[in-house]
Amino acid sequence: MNDGRNGSVKQFICIKWGEKFGPDYVNRLHGMISRNVTPPFRLYCFTDDGTGLNPDIAVRPLPDFKYRTPQRTRGKWPKSRLWGDLGDVTGVVLFLDLDVVITGDLDGFFEYGDPDDTILGLNPNTPLEKMGQTSVYRMRVGKLAPLQEIFRADPQAAADKYKYEQRFVTRNAPGGVKFWPRGWLAHFRMHCIPNFPLNYFRDAKIPPRARIVIFPGLVNPPDAIAGRWYEDGDHVSPREHLRRAFNGQRRESFVKHMRHYVRPTPWVERLWRE
């Protein structure tokens, strides 16, 4: 069985459903992996539409898992499709969100810990809780299948209790979870953008030890490149951003508006490509 170590094929998986992310996101992910990992490797994309994907990407159908998606919570619960049987994909896999930017060597994500470990990022929003973050996690295929059974019994109840799928995984993964070494993952908004008011004068930076930059919530890679906080927003100068704080042309509180400014980020444009 391929375990992702000792020279065997390093297996990466991602999931694409609906229309939020187009094939360009998957193709860019494949390109970034290829430039930052020692071959051989394979990227498997589980999707309901493989149109436009690079032919080197292994396209697989979304695993069949019939349940009603929770309606009152914000977690990415469709990711639960990947917790069980993945067909011909077996062994150790590294899951990556489609909107990450790879900034360093990926080999360590397969070498760290034991092959049977379930390893997540440590969520920086809840440091005292030690909750996992599932933008980048490693598992042995099938090990999280018991979570599917818990979830299947009452998806909405599970979502109401845990709020986010990453908390559900952290609390219920068989054998518990481990976390990546500190610094390997960087949260773009929290770790890369300078704190207010320096964000008006300095570009976002890649933290020294970061291997992958994640983009949970607001500000995705295209936004970082453009220098905007919202997908439907526009880039404005620091002076104009401050003017909008006082003239009512803002969509959030005064304090949040003042803090939520990012300059165009050249390194995202340089790295986030096929």
The pLDDT of residue 69: 72
Q: Which residues fall within 8 angstroms of residue 261, CB to CB, at 6 or more apart? A: 196, 199, 200, 229, 238, 241
Q: Is 136 helix (H, G, I), strand (E, B) or coil?
A: strand
Q: CA 159, CA 167: separation in Å to the nearest integer? A: 10
> 């770790």: which residue's tokens?
191
pLDDT at 183 over 90: yes
pLDDT digits (tens, 9 = 90+) for 133-160: 999 999 999 999 999 888 888 888 888 8
pLDDT at 1 over 60: no
What pLDDT band is residue 269 in, cutting at 50, 70 and 90?
A: very high
State percent of the chain over pLDDT 70. Answer: 95
Residue 257's nearest CA partner among 273, 272, 238, 270 is 238
Give the pTM. Answer: 0.93
Please give the structure tokens belonging to residue 217. 């919530």
pLDDT digits (tens, 9 = 90+) for 32-90: 999 999 999 999 999 999 999 999 999 999 998 776 777 766 667 778 899 999 999 99
pLDDT digits (tens, 9 = 90+) for 200-257: 999 999 999 999 999 998 999 999 999 999 999 999 999 999 999 999 899 999 999 9
Q: Is 120 helix (H, G, I), strand (E, B) or coil?
A: strand
The pLDDT of residue 2: 43
